[in-house]
């Protein structure tokens, strides 16, 4: 396959601007799948993706397209738009020479449009602007073009105006991919040099990984070597996704495909590694990807302690698929043995939980998400921790540093007032405020990370009727006045409920947390006392009075079955509970501790 | 192994549907009564057993919508088809408005020896809200008529949970006791799906007692009736010594029972089934029986245990272990420990039982851990 007939491109955009729908049309228009095989966002194959209607994992597909009577092979990567999955975008871009930057004409340029466009520019990619959803009455094509030019500095004069949904101008997109995106460089005569861009674990076949070949070629049964470990394997099966799986015997320079090589150990096939031939290795390995740093941390525990090993194994498999996921063993007095996990954000945390439940059939408890703190002790030593219960006693703490992020919010001008107020409440510091078009404002703040991980997104959306979007980047650790808030249930400290909170907000938070907790603890056969403590002092209290009435005092003749079903239902309800000492607490409480409804 | 059986006959007709009622009963369908009786008799005749009938229970709906001749034909079918113990308890549920002397005489002559009367309340204002056809005077009269006719095993039903004060409840119970009946069933009002009460409750037009008050009323009733000489022998039932309902106890004790008619449930030789809730399907004999999943051994044990715990005397350990070939204290070690600590369950003289009315009023929270 000659390089000049190959194009490698990604589709990037802000969340929901229509990447996966455009991918559908590209597949359909090039005959990758028959109409019968087609479904909406066909590349979103994970159960969690279909359920939420968002893309989480980048997906590849090779399309065949005839342009001026010549056949071309287009390797497409559909990427996620949500800020939590930015890493998927950046590694996908590493495998491409160009990208389609999709912008929703009804929304204009949004925060991840900017973030992802800059990633593409950083990688020297050819960017083809595509304006989508022109079928909608509220589409404003001119304004969108203006925003692309003003906000991104990209020439939008020949942006392609499409409707992915209604299949308008998709042929122009295909032509433009061939005309504008350069074919892959590299040489087929050089030693094999391929980049691992994705990998996952298949229960039957071991590790499967996706590579992009940058030099040379890979044949079936070749002896391959992973550059970082120097371990060698046999390439048992090669193939591509069309998006259907199709076996091939050869992956040549410039192509994208999968490799199965009977690798059982997940650590031996890390994304970003260089794959080469054992006999004739390259001497130009890739730099590898900077491992994405997790921002949000939480404990994951098996509800039933007996499932600890299963959880360990499941997390290990998910890690292969999600490079940002970090896992460390942890023990809690209240929840037993489990793991401290790091995630890119709360969405990816929730997705991880769902995948554990759905793909591995596990029942888990996730604790209240927190961030990584640096604690300077009085003896000068600095420790890092994300689990609030591990905070040293106050007399040993000289200072606590918390992560700050630079946050960029793009919003219609009319909501600026409300948003600034929210940012202020969240302990933010204004950095900049500028207009990116006549009525759209870019707000820059620095703000403690912890303030934006839970309810910030929802608040921002509701304050701006869904129009504001945000992106953030780690800034630095800063010293803050923070203290540990301890929660007691019937006088017993529940370590997994501990929190690190700003001193000035401690009272308010304590009251809110207890009120919130009350919703998650059903009445029980005895009174339950909830207390919040800082230092040695109780600062808030709540109580849950004992259950008074719970009886079937009715005569349903011989319908015993109905009675039994009622009790069984009640019993199933208990499964949603975690027993802490004698008190039953809804499992949700752990994660929703600070999710304050008002 | 077990040579006894208990029969139930469901009469799904009512003069007027009560606004709180979710039982399977039909109003304005009395024209189907004669045909229904025919089908009932068919169903009775189709069932063969050599077990000896211990009790017959006419429940509803409102069995007193039946004419004496209907009842007679049903009972004749029973007598000609089964062996009936000569001391069998034969109960008839009735609406106070139906209990005229003549009717009662008819019942008595058919061998009916236990009457259950749907008094519900002695407060006229409450009876109105409950949508009942009778007032308190009719209720008194009905009981008096029954006693005059020679019935000496009478049960009355009472409902509570409609914002009664303790004084109100005392009034109800004083009247109930003044009647000198042998058995009293007390039901907590609950808002059932699909009823008029549900609508009114949701729209705010109807309020009912909150859990706290209802629980207090429950405890009050238990205390009151106990000191009046009634035994609190099941969660919602009270009886003078020796007058516990055999029939109802059969359900809790896990004996075989066979229900005839619309919506009736049966449990025969370990198999459970239930007739259709639809009057028309029943009358037209359209696949009207639904068999339920056979319980496996352990579930049978659990169910029997839970049902027994509804009774004051609870589970007789040795007897239970023998009957179900199990070791109940081992099976439920954790649960028993937990609830004994919480004072909800007690073990004494070889019995495991709920620890009095305080435990009964929260019994679902306890029982649901044993099922
Ligand atoms: N009207 C209209 N709706 C569209 C068009 N393209 C996509 N949509 C809709 O926009 C929504 C989001 O589309 P997706 O293709 O899932 O968006 P995405 O960019 O892949 O989203 P993420 O992967 O979560 O970032 C879906 O409801 C689509 O049906 C279009 O051209 N016109
Ligand atoms: S009389 Fe009894 S069965 Fe009939 S509607 Fe009223 S409560 Fe229901
Ligand atoms: Mg998508």
Q: B61 in ligand 2 pocket by Cβ < 6 Å?
A: yes
| 3-state class percentages of chain A: helix first, strand second, coil last, to nearest 5 | 30, 35, 35
Q: B52 in ligand 2 pocket by Cβ < 6 Å?
A: no
Q: What is the DSSP letter of A414?
A: G
Taking the centre of ligand 1 as the mean of its atom positions, its distance from the CA of residue B79, in whole angstroms, is: 74
Of the residues B11, B13, B29, B60, which should be mutated to test ligand 2's pocket, given the most ligand atoms within 8 Å of the CB? B60
The domain made up of B4-251 has a fold known as TIM Barrel (3.20.20)
**Among A25-39, A365-379, B211-225, where is mean pLDDT lowest?**
A25-39
**Among A205-219, A350-364, A556-570, B355-369, where is mean pLDDT lowest?**
A556-570
Q: Which residues of B touch A551 (CB under 8 A)?
A: 188, 218, 235, 360-364
pLDDT value at A593 more than 60: yes
- Name the minimum distance, in Å, from the CA of B179 to any CA of chain A: 22
pLDDT per residue over A156-191, tens digit each? 999 999 999 999 999 999 999 999 999 999 899 999
Tell me whether residues A550 and B371 touch, CB distance under 8 A.
Answer: no
E-assigned strands of A321-369? 326-332, 336-343, 364-366
- Name the minimum distance, in Å, from the CA of B331 to any CA of chain A: 17
Give the separation between CA A247 and CA A235, rounded to whole angstroms.
Answer: 12
Q: Which residues of A touch B363 (CB under 8 A)?
A: 550-552
pLDDT band at A322 (very low <50, low <70, confident <90, very high): confident
Q: How high is the pLDDT of residue B278?
A: 93
pLDDT band at A557 (very low <50, low <70, confident <90, very high): low
Give the separation between CA A140 and CA B28, rounded to whole angstroms.
Answer: 64
Q: How high is the pLDDT of residue B365?
A: 92
Q: Which of A230, A207, A232 is nearest to A222 (CA)?
A: A232
Closest C-alpha residue for ligand 2 atom 2: B61
Domain ranges of chain B: 4-251, 314-371
pLDDT value at A218 more than 90: yes
Contact call for residues A98 and A32 (beta carbons, < 8 A): no
Report yes or no: B221 at the A interface, CB cutoff 8 Å. no
Q: How high is the pLDDT of residue A143?
A: 93
Q: Kindly give the confidence (pLDDT) of every residue in chain B, 371 residues in length, as a single tens digit, with 9 standing for 90 and above.
A: 478 999 999 999 999 999 999 888 999 999 999 999 999 999 999 999 999 999 999 998 899 999 999 999 999 999 999 999 999 999 999 999 999 999 999 999 999 999 999 999 999 999 999 999 899 999 999 999 999 999 999 999 999 999 999 999 999 999 999 999 999 999 999 998 999 999 999 999 999 999 999 999 999 999 999 999 999 999 999 999 999 988 877 877 778 899 999 999 898 988 889 999 999 999 998 878 888 778 888 888 998 899 899 999 999 999 999 989 999 999 999 999 999 999 999 999 999 999 999 999 999 999 999 98
pLDDT band at A597 (very low <50, low <70, confident <90, very high): very low
pLDDT per residue over A499-539, tens digit each? 999 999 999 999 999 998 998 899 999 999 999 999 889 99
Between A407 and A321, where is the model more confident? Answer: A407
**Among A42-51, A256-265, B112-121, where is mean pLDDT lowest?**
A42-51
Q: What is the dihedral of CA A229, A230, A231, A232, to 10 degrees?
A: 150
pLDDT value at A558 more than 70: no
B47 exposed, middle or buried (CB, 10 Å; 0-12, 13-18, 19+)?
Answer: middle
Buried b (16+ CB within 10 A) or exposed e, B53-88: bbbbbbbbbbbbbbeeebbebbbebbeebbebeeeb
pLDDT value at A362 more than 60: yes
pLDDT value at A598 more than 90: no
Closest C-alpha residue for ligand 1 atom 4: A165
Q: What are phi and psi of B36, to 5 degrees?
A: -60, -45
Pairing outcome for strands B52-60 and B4-11: parallel
pLDDT value at A555 more than 60: no
Mean pLDDT computed over A304-316: 94
Query: Closest ligand 2 atom, CA of B17?
Result: 5
Between A575 and B215, where is the model more confident? Answer: B215
Which value does ipTM take for this structure? 0.85
- Which numbered ligand comes closest to the C-alpha of A13? 1
Q: Which residues of A touch B367 (CB under 8 A)?
A: 567
Tell me whether residues A555 and B236 touch, CB distance under 8 A.
Answer: yes
Contact call for residues A132 and A81 (beta carbons, < 8 A): no
Query: Closest ligand 2 atom, CA of B60?
Result: 3
Taking the centre of ligand 2 as the mean of its atom positions, its distance from the CA of residue B190, in whole angstroms, is: 14
Beta bridge partners of A375: A383, A400
Indicate the SS3 state at residue A4.
Answer: helix
**Among A164-173, A203-212, A217-226, A277-286, where is mean pLDDT lowest?**
A203-212
| Nearest neighbour of B235 by CB, restricted to A525, A547, A551 | A551
pLDDT band at A1 (very low <50, low <70, confident <90, very high): low
Mean of the per-residue pLDDT values for chain A? 90
Mean pLDDT computed over A263-279: 85
Between A36 and A396, where is the model more confident? Answer: A396
Tell me whether residues B303 and A547 touch, CB distance under 8 A.
Answer: no
Report yes or no: B312 at the A interface, CB cutoff 8 Å. no
Taking the centre of ligand 2 as the mean of its atom positions, its distance from the CA of residue B268, in whole angstroms, is: 27
Pairing outcome for strands A537-544 and A528-534: antiparallel
């Amino acid at each position: 396959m000659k390089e000049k007939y190959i194009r490698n491109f990604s589709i990037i955009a802000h969340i929901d601007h229509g990447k996966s729908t455009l991918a559908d049309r590209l597949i359909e228009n090039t005959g990758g799948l028959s109409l019968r095989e087609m479904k909406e966002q066909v590349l979103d194959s994970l159960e969690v993706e279909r359920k939420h209607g968002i893309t989480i994992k980048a997906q590849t597909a090779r399309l065949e397209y005839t342009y001026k009577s010549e056949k071309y092979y287009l390797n497409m990567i559909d990427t996620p738009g949500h800020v939590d999955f930015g890493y998927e975008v950046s590694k996908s871009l590493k495998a491409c020479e160009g990208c389609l930057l999709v912008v929703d004409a009804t929304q204009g340029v949004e925060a991840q449009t900017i973030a992802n466009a800059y990633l593409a520019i950083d990688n020297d990619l050819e960017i083809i602007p595509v304006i989508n959803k022109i079928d909608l009455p509220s589409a404003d094509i001119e304004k969108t073009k203006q925003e692309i030019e003003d906000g991104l500095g990209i020439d939008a004069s020949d942006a392609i105006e499409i409707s992915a949904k209604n299949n308008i101008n998709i042929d122009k997109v295909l032509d433009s991919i061939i005309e504008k995106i350069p074919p892959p460089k590299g040489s087929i005569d050089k030693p094999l040099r391929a980049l691992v861009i994705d990998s996952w674990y298949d229960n039957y076949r071991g590790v499967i990984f996706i590579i992009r070949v940058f030099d040379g070629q890979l044949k079936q049964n070749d002896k391959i070597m992973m550059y970082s470990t120097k371990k060698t394997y046999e390439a048992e099966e090669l193939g591509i996704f069309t998006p259907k799986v199709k076996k091939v015997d050869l992956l040549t320079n410039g192509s994208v495909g999968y490799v199965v090589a009977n690798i059982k150990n997940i650590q031996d096939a890390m994304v970003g590694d260089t794959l080469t031939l054992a006999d004739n290795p390259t001497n130009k390995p890739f730099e590898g990807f900077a491992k994405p740093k997790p921002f949000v941390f939480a404990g994951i525990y098996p509800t039933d302690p007996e499932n600890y090993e299963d959880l360990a194994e499941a997390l290990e498999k998910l890690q292969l698929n999600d490079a940002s996921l970090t896992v460390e063993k942890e023990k809690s007095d209240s929840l037993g043995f489990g793991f401290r996990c790091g995630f890119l954000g709360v969405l990816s945390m929730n997705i991880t939980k769902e995948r554990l439940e759905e793909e591995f059939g596990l029942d888990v408890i996730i604790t209240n998400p927190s961030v990584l703190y640096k604690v300077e002790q009085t003896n000068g030593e600095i420790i890092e921790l994300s689990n609030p219960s591990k905070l040293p006693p106050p007399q040993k703490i000289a200072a606590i540093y918390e992560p700050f992020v630079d946050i960029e919010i793009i919003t219609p001008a009319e909501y600026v007032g409300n948003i600034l107020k929210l940012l202020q409440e969240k302990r933010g510091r204004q950095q900049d405020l500028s207009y990116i078009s006549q009525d759209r404002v870019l707000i820059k703040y620095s703000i403690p990370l912890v303030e934006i991980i839970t309810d910030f997104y929802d608040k921002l959306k509701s304050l701006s009727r869904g129009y504001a979007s945000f992106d953030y980047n780690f800034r630095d650790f800063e010293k803050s006045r923070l203290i540990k808030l301890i929660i007691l249930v019937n006088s017993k400290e529940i370590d997994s409920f501990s929190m690190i909170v700003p001193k000035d907000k401690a009272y308010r938070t304590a009251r809110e947390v207890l009120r919130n907790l009350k919703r998650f603890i059903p009445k029980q056969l005895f009174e339950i006392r909830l207390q919040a403590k800082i230092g040695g002092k109780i600062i808030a209290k709540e109580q849950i009075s004992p259950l008074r009435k719970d009886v079937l005092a009715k005569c349903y003749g011989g319908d015993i079955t109905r009675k039994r079903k009622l009790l069984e239902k009640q019993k199933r309800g208990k499964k949603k509970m975690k027993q802490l000492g004698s008190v039953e607490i809804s499992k949700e409480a752990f994660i929703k501790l600070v999710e304050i409804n008002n | 192994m077990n040579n006894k059986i208990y029969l139930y006959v469901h009469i799904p007709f009512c003069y007027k549907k009560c606004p709180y009622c979710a039982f399977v009963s039909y109003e304005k369908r009395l024209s189907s009564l004669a045909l229904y009786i025919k089908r009932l008799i068919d169903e009775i005749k189709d069932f063969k057993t050599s077990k000896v009938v211990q009790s017959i229970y006419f429940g509803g709906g409102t069995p007193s919508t039946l004419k004496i001749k209907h009842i007679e034909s049903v009972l004749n079918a029973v007598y000609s088809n089964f062996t009936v113990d000569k001391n069998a308890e034969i109960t008839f549920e009735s609406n106070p408005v139906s209990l005229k002397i003549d009717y009662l005489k008819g019942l008595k002559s058919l061998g009916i020896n236990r009457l259950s009367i749907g008094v519900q309340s002695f407060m006229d204002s409450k009876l109105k809200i409950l949508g009942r056809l009778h007032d308190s005077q009719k209720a008194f009269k009905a009981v008096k008529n029954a006693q005059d006719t020679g019935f000496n095993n009478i049960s009355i039903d009472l409902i509570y949970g409609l914002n009664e004060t303790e004084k109100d409840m005392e009034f109800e119970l004083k009247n109930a006791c003044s009647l000198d009946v042998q058995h009293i069933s007390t039901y907590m009002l609950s808002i059932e799906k699909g009823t008029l009460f549900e609508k009114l409750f949701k729209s705010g037009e109807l309020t009912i007692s909150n859990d706290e008050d209802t629980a207090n009323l429950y405890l009050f009733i238990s205390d009151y009736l106990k000191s009046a000489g009634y035994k609190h022998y099941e969660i919602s039932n009270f009886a003078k010594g020796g007058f516990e309902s055999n029939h109802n106890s059969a359900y809790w004790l896990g004996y075989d029972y066979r229900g005839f008619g619309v919506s009736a449930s049966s449990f025969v030789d370990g198999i459970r089934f239930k007739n259709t809730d639809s009057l028309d399907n029943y009358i037209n004999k359209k696949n009207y029986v639904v068999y339920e999943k056979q319980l496996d051994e352990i579930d049978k044990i659990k169910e029997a245990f839970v049902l027994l715990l509804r009774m004051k005397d609870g589970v007789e350990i040795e007897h239970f272990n023998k009957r179900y070939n199990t070791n109940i204290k081992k099976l439920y070690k954790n649960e028993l420990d937990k609830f004994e600590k919480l004072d909800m369950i007690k073990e004494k003289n070889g019995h495991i039982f709920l620890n009095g009315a305080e435990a009964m009023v929260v019994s679902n929270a306890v029982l649901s851990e044993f099922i």
